[in-house]
Amino acid sequence: MIHLPEAFISQTKSLLGLEETEALIKALSEEAPTSIRVNPNKATAISGESVPWCETGYYLSERPSFTLDPLFHAGAYYVQEASSMFLSQVIKALPEEPRRVLDLCAAPGGKSTLWRAELPEQTLLVANEPIHRRAMILAENLAKWGHPDVIVTEDYPKSFSHLPGCFDVIAADVPCSGEGMFRKDPGAIDEWSKENVDFCAQRQFEIISDVWPALREGGFLVYSTCTFNRAENEDNIERICRELGAETLPIPIKEEWKIRGSLTKDSLHVYHFFPHCTRGEGIFFALLRKTSATAPEKKSKGRPELVSQQLARQLSAWVDAKEPLAFLLSDNNMVQGVKEDFLSIAWQIKKQIKTIRAGINIAEIKGKKLIPQPDLALSTIVSPEIFPKVVLNYEQAIAYLRHEALNLDTTERGYLLATYEDRNLGFLNNLGSRANNLYPSEWRIRKQC
């Protein structure tokens, strides 16, 4: 049986009662289920039981080595805890179709990839993570997911206050005491204390307060934690409603899902996942509508720095986009492709927020050369005609993902798309005598077979 702090057990008894607390402790002592969510744009056949609240989610009977699966690196699926996939139902419950969504605390990318999979095509997703190391993981996972209408940023919530009323939806999976992760992360048990719960609750409210000006009046906040207690959940939701100006909205659920409502007030629309009730980890969701006023949206001065028309025509042949792209010249001579409809807001964000990537990294300009980028290979808009494909078997695919040299059986020269089971993995530059592996060294597989 898992050993939990007495203060946590006492806290949980006050919320759930003795019988349910014992059932929760028993569930936390059992093995956590393994679940994945498939990429609808890179569909792959999955043999597993469906996650009831997410059409693209599946439970697996055993946990394979995802690191040694090329399809995982191709973005064909994402390994995600099943309870957090309830976000799918939250998105469906939005009363309006959003145009701009900010995922504020987005690393490593599970919820961001789900947002991007289920949002309408005319919606821009901004995925943010303030910690650099985690922000780079977020950028990698979103690049592998492959959707072009994403901006990845690396900044703190307060910075977004300089974009008043910019977003229709802000999702905040706020840092928490991690009670819902006790089963998956034993270290979370050692770090737990009542003082840390109180600290997290105050920090969470400050995060929402800092970003609140960026949410338009009538816009929506999706608040989530991976914890059980009322201080970080119900109490914070009530405080947001009372002090910032908001109301909770209902999310349709089915009785057989065994999702719990508010532990404090029946009138509060909130949703708890407990491991002894649902097949997943502990998580909490609430959907709120902002009722307070917001300052008018500001427009940035100046114009985006675009590549020349000649270069734009050349790069346009590299993509197969449904709508025209604008090609931004970013730092380090990187060209990023952004849908023209999103150019103005992308430029506005880049002026105010530290931005890692706007849209898709298309090419690096190196002297007179254009070097296609891994993001382009993994994206859903790479041209199927410009870059010849080379089919890799499993051993070759793993070698490629290890950033090793390959011997290719092909007469094609120049930049080639390395593929495995009809999914793109990245680019190679075949010079004839050798093939340069262009897979990013920082993404390479280090685990041995």
Q: Return the active site residues.
A: 226
Closest CA to 102 of 355, 422, 307: 355
**331 labeled part of a ligand binding site:** no
**286 labeled part of a ligand binding site:** no
**129 labeled part of a ligand binding site:** yes
Q: Residue 187: which H helix or E strand, with range?
A: helix 186-191
**166 labeled part of a ligand binding site:** no
**350 labeled part of a ligand binding site:** no
Q: Do you find a cis peptide bond into 388, omega within 30 degrees of 0?
A: no
DSSP 6-36: HHHHHHHHHHH-HHHHHHHHHHHTSPPPEEE
**173 labeled part of a ligand binding site:** yes
- Region of residue 77 (phi > 0: left; psi between -120 and 50: alpha; otherwise: beta): beta
**Structure token digits, residue 196:** 């840390």
**312 labeled part of a ligand binding site:** no
- Cα–Cα distance measured from residue 209 to residue 85, given in angstroms and rounded to the nearest whole number: 26
3-state secondary structure 113-173: HHHHHHCCCCCEEEEECCCHHHHHHHHHHHHHHCCCCEEEECCCHHHHHHCCCCEEEEEEE
C-beta separation of 179 from 194 below 8 A: no
- Cα–Cα distance measured from residue 83 to residue 277, given in angstroms and rounded to the nearest whole number: 11
- Cα–Cα distance measured from residue 155 to residue 157, given in angstroms and rounded to the nearest whole number: 7
**149 labeled part of a ligand binding site:** no
**109 labeled part of a ligand binding site:** yes
- Cα–Cα distance measured from residue 236 to residue 206, given in angstroms and rounded to the nearest whole number: 10
- For residue 298, how many C-alpha atoms fall within 13 Å in the half-sphere facing its CB? 15
Q: Which residues are documented as binding site?
A: 105-111, 129, 173
Q: Which residues are documented as binding site for S-adenosyl-L-methionine?
A: 105-111, 129, 173
